[in-house]
Each structure stands twice: as structure tokens, then as C-alpha cells.
Amino acid sequence: MEFQVVKRCKSSKARLGVIATEHGRLETPVFMPVGTAGAIKGVSPEEAREAGVEIILANTYHLYLRPGHELIDKLGGLHRFMNWPGPLLTDSGGFQTLSLSKLRTISDDGVTFRSHLDGSTHFLGPEKVMEIQRALGADIIITLDECAPFGADRSYVLNSAKLTEKWARRCLEERKDNGQALFCVVQGGIYPELREMSARGLVSMGFDGYALGGLSVGEDKPTRENVVRLTREFLPEEKPVYLMGVGTPDDIIESVKMGMDMFDCVMPTRNARNGMLFTHKGKLIIKNARFAEDNSPIEEGCACYTCSNYSRAYLRHLFLLREILSFRLTTIHNLYYYAEFMSEIRQAIRDDRLAEFSHDFYRGEAESL
């Protein structure tokens, strides 16, 4: 992987960059839809590509449990297995061990857990996580980290950050010269001094990129923004920075201003399945009765497949019946919205008008209320 900053914003720390991988180039800032088990729920890879998706995130933990990384490797790697020609990123499974905390035990060696599928016992350590991600063949892989739960006291978070650093070093020692870029995860909870400690320790090892983990787990927006702003100061300018799990449009704008380059979130796909659609005039709830006879598209001027072919009335009809087609069509629109939104942000940085773009975005949000 190669990363180059090609433009810096004059009014903030935002920057326009290019990431080059074996499976193609992509511009940053970029949003990565979540394809947990090797699929973005509701759409094919071809439909995702047509909607503007450039890179997909898949989950190490879930793919390890089924169908298994050995099988995926045998069948040619994750790109071929899911028929995705573009860049892929796999996370380490660290967050899943937090979300399944009742099923796991943490030690210095790694995480022992019981499968949420059948209760079988498994172990994920740094070396195993690297083995799995090598077999999957993603372009960007992530070191194993320990994500402290929201509300954890300082002592717990300190130990968590230290353990994350130890595991990151072991992942670094285990990496192979196979072209995969290795990102580490900065932890430290909401404690500024622990975030600084974690960032400095990881930067001293020299990774290809840096992820900010342990956020969007319950903290309020000002606290999260303060952590992102502070942590960014200790990360190298020449490397991409990935803000994990943060994905509302307003959070993305503010985080881009603070120098974040990569984002992921289940929001565009999960919300689509729940009938909540993104537009430039705010959120649209498709089940609302006022759309029963509305022959207009989700958003006037939107060039996505759904808006080009289907009305709000039809989409409401499908959603109320819980037709599978409803999930597909609404997901296509939300993916397209996010891809266009990121493209607009990049163009605003390119044109030195990010502040104006941000103002227009918030004005549109306010007018929709």
C-alpha cells in the first residue's frame, strides 16, 4: 500500500489523499461499508460498485468462524470468494470480543471465547489474527486490540492500552512481506493522557496506518470529538488515519476537519433495512403515510439506480410488506448517498471550500427539521 497526501485544506486539518493497493486506487477521505461476512447485506458486489463503493470492510472474527479462513484461502482468497475486485480491509475481531464480552476471557496471550453460533471454544491471539488475515488476503489488515468498554475506570483502560500495544508489536513481528498494509489501533478510552501514551507507543513501531478504536461505544459527541482531535496530534501526517465505527454524515464532516481519512459504519445499510433513507435534505422515513401516493423518487436529482427507477410510494409498499426487494433498493440508495457525500467532501477540499460545504450541509439539515 502507498499513501500520498495531494491537497491540504486551508481552513482545517482536512486533507485529500490517495491510497494505492494491489486491487486499485482510492481517494480519501473515504467511507467503507461493512460487509461483515464477506457481503454487504442486501446488495451484490456489482451493485455496490455501481453505487460508488470503492472499498469494503469485512470481519475477521465472523469469517474465521464461518466458513473458515482456510476454506477462503483454498478458494483463492476473499476477493475471489466474494467476487469483489476492489480494495478490502479486514478488522482484527477485537471489537467483536467486546460486544461478546460475556463469552470471552482475556489474557496476555490473547482472547479465549465461545462461539456465539454453537458455543465452541476458540482462541484468538496476535499470531492467529495475522494468520487469518493473511489467508483472507485483504489489502489492509488490522492488529489485534483490546477495546475497553464504555465507563471502564482508568486502571482498566490503562491495562487495555498496554495490552493493545503488546499485541500490536507481536502482530508486527508476525507480518509477512506479502503486500498487505498493517494498521494498528490506538486505544485509551476517553482519557487524554492514555490516548497520547497509546499513540506514541504505536507510532514508535512504525505501522502503515493508524486506526482510532474504542469510540462510538457510548460516549457523547463532544467527548468523542475531543478524543479524536487530541489523538490526531500524535499521529504521523504521512500515514492514513482510520476512525473506526463512526459514520453519521455530521460526524464524518467534523472528523474530516480533524484530519481523519477513513471511516466505516453499519449505519447506511442497517438504516436502509429499517426504512430510514439519507438525503441532502435530511433523513426520510419511507413507511410514513404521507408517501403512500408519492410518485417522486427518494431524492430529486439523485442518480442512483433506485431513484432512477422507483417511487417513494412503491418503496413504501415494499417496506410495509417486508419484501426482500425493499432492503435491496433502499440499501443501494443509502450506499450511493454515502459515496456521493464523500465525493462532495473531497471536491470541497480540492476547491478550498470545505467550510462552505459544511455550512451548507448543516443548513440543509436544519431546514429539514
pLDDT at residue number 369: 43
Q: Within this chain, do residues 241 and 289 fall inside the same structural domain, yes or no?
A: no
Q: Within this chain, do residues 205 and 289 fall inside the same structural domain, yes or no?
A: no
pLDDT at residue number 364: 83
DSSP per-residue string spanning 92-142: -SHHHHHHTGGGEEE-SS-EEEE-TTT--EEEE-HHHHHHHHHHHT-SEEE
pLDDT at residue number 211: 98
Q: How many CB atoms lie within 10 A of CB 300?
A: 10
Contact 313, 289 (CB under 8 A): no
Degrees to nearest 5, angle at CA 320 with 315 and 321? 100
Domain boundary among 238, 265, 292: 265
Q: State percent of the chain over pLDDT 90.
A: 91
The three cell numbers of residue 141 are 489488515
Q: What is the pLDDT of residues 229-272, one digit of tens each?
A: 999 999 999 999 999 999 999 999 999 999 999 999 999 999 99
Domain boundary among 207, 235, 265: 265
pLDDT at residue number 99: 64
264 is catalytic: yes
pTM of the predicted model as reported, rounded to 2 decimal places = 0.97
Active-site residue among 139, 208, 261, 264?
Answer: 264
- Residue 98 one-letter amino acid: L
Determine the Cα–Cα distance for residues 142 and 133; give it in Å rounded to an integer: 8
SS3 359: helix
Q: Are strands 262-265 and 30-33 parallel, antiparallel or unpaired?
A: parallel
Q: How many CB atoms lie within 10 A of CB 345?
A: 25
Q: Which residues contact 57 (CB under 8 A, 6 or more apart)?
A: 32, 33, 34, 35, 88, 89, 90, 91, 264
pLDDT at residue number 124: 93
Ranges of residues in the chain whose predicted pLDDT is under 50: 369
139 is catalytic: no
Q: How many domains does the chain have?
A: 2
DSSP H helices, the chain, are: 45-50, 60-65, 69-74, 78-82, 94-99, 126-136, 154-174, 192-203, 221-232, 249-257, 267-273, 305-309, 312-321, 324-350, 354-368
The three cell numbers of residue 143 are 492488529
Q: Within this chain, do residues 254 and 280 fall inside the same structural domain, yes or no?
A: no
Q: Please classify residue 274 by burial: count the beta carbons closer than 10 Å to its beta carbon, then call 0-12 exposed, 13-18 middle and 19+ buried.
A: middle
The three cell numbers of residue 333 are 440508495
Determine the Cα–Cα distance for residues 202 and 206; give it in Å rounded to an integer: 7
Q: Within this chain, do residues 7 and 136 fall inside the same structural domain, yes or no?
A: yes
Q: Within this chain, do residues 326 and 212 fall inside the same structural domain, yes or no?
A: no
Q: Within this chain, do residues 255 and 161 fall inside the same structural domain, yes or no?
A: yes
Active-site residue among 91, 139, 145, 251?
Answer: 91
Q: Within this chain, do residues 111 and 223 fall inside the same structural domain, yes or no?
A: yes
- Full residue range of the structural domain in which residue 343 is found: 272-368
Q: Within this chain, do residues 277 and 257 fall inside the same structural domain, yes or no?
A: no
Determine the Cα–Cα distance for residues 326 and 3; give it in Å rounded to an integer: 38
Q: Which residues contact 109 (CB under 8 A, 6 or more apart)?
A: 123, 125
Q: Within this chain, do residues 195 and 276 fall inside the same structural domain, yes or no?
A: no
